[in-house]
Amino acid sequence: MKLEKVALVGSGNWGSAIAKIIGNNVQLYPEFDNEVKMWVYEEFINGQKLTDIINEKNENVKYLPGIKLSSNIKAVPDLLETVRDATILVFVIPHQFVKGVCNQLKGQILPHAKAISLIKGFDVNETGICPMTEVIAKTLNINVSSLSGANIANEIAEENFSETTIGYRVREEGELYKRLFETPYFRVGIIDDVIGVELCGALKNVVAIAAGIIDGLRLGDNAKAAIIRIGLLEMKKFVQTFYRGIKEETFFESCGIADVITTSYGGRNRRVAEAFVITRKPFEHLEKELLAGQKLQGTLTAQEINHVLRRKGLENEYKLFTTVYRIAYQGLPPERLVKEII
């Protein structure tokens, strides 16, 4: 039997948590090769290469400290070496880096490789939005599935119970990925809606910024619930406006309502937005100050959404998305959030 060989493109907070799961699961199923290469965007920690530290300690001390990875996870600083012999590419990098990474991978992967994107974000162009699965699929000419859910990486790394959703086009691939990712504490649902799953994951980051603003303003839980409800409606309308064939059920999977809730209470976007209201420091300063190298996705996504809405004359139909953009980029006082969306 030809074995499936997995490569991880990314090793941040979520990338490392998922490496822990994949490292264990490839050893449980005979269809997978036991060695998993993980691409690390190289950096130095106290003069030592992060890749060397990960390989020596089996721990990503910068992005997921205190969590052991199995020794079959091999940190590799060379992107092309990471993917050269892989049949499954797991993309898990902040969305702003995907185009650059894919351009480097062009012509450098196995022709029969396939991919799954765990990324929460999208790109935009003159005509509208470009989901990450489409950027990857078009650049590399391969089939791409998506995985997204109510998944705060640190909680999953601690093996606390959670669920996730895989969006597939080819059912066998959905089932293969379920075996690769599922554990007793990380339950995987699969649905044939690649774009719906991934766009929910991208858009919820903007709702999380609004939720953090509500927290910073100390407006309480009822206000937060209202933001979650309004945000979910805007997410649904946005996805269904820009894409045909998105399933209604997708919004009730982990990638939909559950992710909006978790992100509005426990995520990095929420935390940084709350700090923004309290300190009034710019988001990019707070990202550096509070996230220790991890990346904030919600403000950038608000900007990308606004680019599309403005071009289409739809800003007024998405009041929450538009107001988050104006607060983050145009100096609108956060106190105006509620007034602008009612």
Residue positions annotated with a catalytic role? 204
Q: Which two tokens stand for residue 142?
A: 């391969």
Provide the mask over 122-161, with x wherever binding to ligand G3P is found by CB under 6 A and - wherever it is not. Answer: ----------------------------xxx---------
Q: Which is nearer to ligand NAD, 117 or 306 (CB)?
A: 117
- The answer to whether residue 262 forms part of the interface with ligand G3P (CB under 6 A) is yes
CA dihedral 177, 180, 184, 190 (to 10 degrees): 0
Residue 179 CB, nearest distance to ligand G3P (Å)?
22
Measure the CA–CA gap between 5 and 21, rounded to whole angstroms: 15
Is there binding between residue 286 and ligand NAD (CB under 6 A)?
no
> Using the rule CB under 6 A, which residue among 75, 89, 93, 140 binds ligand NAD?
93
Tokens describing residue 30: 């005979």
Q: Residue 55 CB, nearest distance to ligand G3P (Å)?
A: 27
Q: Where would I find the H helices in the chain? A: 13-28, 50-57, 79-83, 98-105, 132-140, 153-157, 171-181, 194-216, 220-242, 259-266, 268-279, 283-291, 298-312, 319-329, 337-341
Locus of tokens 């982990």: 254
Which of 263, 264, 301, 322 binds ligand G3P (CB under 6 A)? It is 263
If the CB atoms of residues 328 and 341 are measured against ligand NAD, the closer one turns out to be 328
Q: Pick what 208 binds: ligand G3P, ligand NAD, none; C-beta below 5 to 8 Å, kind-dependent.
A: ligand G3P
| Helix/strand/coil for 167 | strand
255 forms part of the interface with ligand NAD (CB under 6 A): no
According to the binding rule CB under 6 A, does residue 58 interact with ligand NAD? Answer: no
End-to-end CA separation in angstroms for the chain: 59
Q: Write down the least CB distance from residue 11 to ligand G3P, Å.
A: 16
How far, in Å, CA of 185 to CA of 156, rounded?
8
- Does residue 97 have a known ligand-binding role? yes
Which residue shows structure tokens 């994951």? Answer: 201
| Contacting positions for ligand NAD (CB under 6 A) | 10-15, 41, 63, 92-95, 97, 118-121, 151-153, 293-295, 297
| Contacting positions for ligand G3P (CB under 6 A) | 120, 150-152, 205, 208, 259, 262-263, 267-269, 297
